[in-house]
Structure 1
């Protein structure tokens, strides 16, 4: 292939840009990573459960970086009613994100029973909103459910929802298993699947010794990674880029030990948990190009980062938003270290590694 590639307006159909100082730092990096359209997740604190809160959040993102087309979502919650869905549709909100309770960052308000939301899903079906599913169930020792098989246990819910709502567009987010790829492939065209850049690279072996590779859902076995790569390589339009780029403060990615004293003077030690998330926005499209080239799928790059997701969501590329990539030279493509803002510092994926492609400014 040529040493240059031109892509029609790449889109990221799953990105976190947080709030407050973190939002100010990471929001401009979405465009710098080559993305022209970004589908934004609603798991803030508190979660975005009303149309008004989503509209206000969109205005904040547009203030920080008006060059990106920000597509917004509601957080599935008891406050999200059929009437709220109709209000959201009129306001231009594109989807509703479902988080099972407690499985990932800021998901304590997540759901436990999909059945109670059937009237909401019906309204979404009528209004054309997309249902985005975090495809895991909570861990349960008695049922032998853990982070390693939580996605596989979730797939029966996906099959049920696809059957019960044949006109509802459904996206299984950030797939990590061969079982997920097989299930999505077997379901009708109203069901699609996003795949992250980091899951095309990582396996559990790379996660175990490196907290900056820890995310939810966690990367799985080599056979699962190959299934994701093969899905991209197939060119199947059901599969497209959703980065799940999820920045966390550097301190939150490194478990820390705190030693204190109890009221009676006895020593007490606590260990913080490592935050779940991999941050890829600043290098996203060059990273995806580098990864696809590594497993022989570079010719599928445009479909994966531009065409397939836009077609499924009905978001056409705008004229004049093409992105040009070129091969890096020997002294180019090194991924920088941390990004620092006002009291915030984050580490990007692949820091210190070399990308094979870069954006032509």
Structure 2
């Protein structure tokens, strides 16, 4: 710490309160410097420094004085170590007691005691100083504090840029750890990003960025109830319970899940396909509606662009658009399995993908205006996002490996 000693402290100018020197001396001592070293830096006598820290008993010529300490909240018991516990730690450390023994006496975790001692040892002699440790803890406790995102312009710019790219907070945080492995100041958890967006008064990220989130909401809300399923078909269905076991554990690629996202007044739709193993997304263009025949033709045209070893089965819900499932199976040799009524979790990957697609195709809009090229661009953007379930690989990377293996 650089401290400039004032030159206007001669006796001829009279006594002047050394408030700046006193505050600097106390900060240096709290950082672990000795009283003599701190007093030398700020330019005062060591006895003055001891009187500031320890107070002074009344004598015949001087009145008593209390110790001068920085303002701090009262001692807190319970979750955090308090001053009494820190004094107990210091006494037992001098008695050469083990970390686990001290932790057992205080009813704390051994790691808590270990971190406390390691953080608050004197840099010179290595002694644990309980009162300095308590002062540091009190100084850290007041709220609110400036957030990590608000203090780091580079971090804030990185998060804002990727939110505009429609990345989720968790994807952004994992990307930060991957791209800046040695810079801990660039590491945050995804909840920190959500707090910067949702909590009023922080101001670390603009509230307009909430429109880039999956839901587009500016505050958290509970999930909606599942929608009612359509009645079953008159044509016999093969239920999901009869689907091969290899599709359940996602170990074998080529098993797909499908559904439709519906536009305004149910008049338009876009078909969605997700491969269970790689989470690769394909979109089905339905510009003229989602009748059974139109869906069968568009779905057949879409899946035939893939190699045969990646077309093992298709799982769908009981929507009316799959009324021609038997004709689809006959044309493509792909068996279709149907979920139980009101059981969207049986197609979890597809339901998750539909939620992601609502960022691009909001509810209550006309979906027929989107061209084939626009759908392909949206699918390509989704397939280039890193996924937590894929160890932060992208679906496109996983599919490329499968295609290379098949070749």
TM-score (norm 1): 0.18
Asked which structure has the greater RCO (Cα within 8 Å, sep 6+), the reply is: 1
**Larger Rg over CA atoms:** 2
